[in-house]
Amino acid sequence: MGKILVIGAGGQLGQCLKTVATRRSIADIVFPSETDANILNQAGLETLLAKEQPAFVINCAAYTAVDKAEDEVALARAVNETGAANLAIACAAHGAALIHVSTDFVFEGNEVKLLVEDDIANPINVYGQTKLDGEKAVIALLKEHFILRTSWLYSEYANNFVKTMLKLGADRDELNIIADQVGTPTYAIDLANAIFDIIAADSVAFGVYHYSNEGVTSWFDFAKAIFDISETNVKANPIPGSAYPTKAARPAFSVMDKSKIKNTFKLTIPYWRDSLVACIAKLQ
């Protein structure tokens, strides 16, 4: 496998990678602090990669506050585009392959079809645009890259929709949930497993891949599943997105086709509700 270096180790996916690495007895893996692995510090990245000499770098560091990004454009661009470019340059200099995590938000999501990797990306918010620009930077600067677009990430770690719903459901009698935005929830533990499977495959099938759990749902139905599985007694009301305006526009339909990643790396991807059951069991 070679040594693995995880950037953004303190975030949700970084913590899931740590958990899965322990379960899979992956010992040759480094989770540096944010200070030592600041993707905005090019010299620091060069020093880190020169010291660790990883075969693979996993980039989980990202600016993910979708609405705040509309106001903090420069910061979102710095982290999601410049940071990705800095890391790609460092990987190229030290012979490391980069696994870079991106998002379904690179798509406009205005038609009901499964999104494949070479569909035209046309983001409708700042977050999506900066993530797309980060993808482009990685592609331009480093041949040895795997870009993994994912969607609706949740886990037992950090802040996410599942934990928010469990907290609100315990505090309130009734909740209004958007029902006209459709996608696929992804358990970050499953994504972490997929990343290690890609590394273990020792493949040079570099490029862009889509990974989410299997299946399709709306935010409303996702919330209903959370309440049903956790036996949380709260009334959920479906509302249109127009009834809950947000600063950043969201794709209406962003379900991704996973055929490419499944066929290339022989992956079996869990159904979203099965993974949600596993996560809620951990949280309870």
Residue 244: active-site member: no
Quote the CA–CA distance of 68 and 63 in Å, as a whole number. 10
Token pair listed for 55? 């075969």
> Long-range contacts made by residues 190-194, C-beta under 8 angstroms, separation at least 24?
190/269, 190/270, 190/275, 191/13, 191/16, 191/101, 191/148, 191/150, 191/153, 192/13, 192/16, 192/17, 192/19, 192/20, 193/20, 193/24, 194/148, 194/261, 194/265, 194/267, 194/269
Positive or negative torsion for Cα 14, 65, 230, 180: negative
Q: Which two structure tokens, joined as six digits, stand for 53?
A: 């000499």
Distance CA 230, CA 241 (A): 25
Three-state DSSP state, 183: strand
Q: Which of 63, 127, 187, 211 is catalytic?
A: 127
Catalytic residues: 127
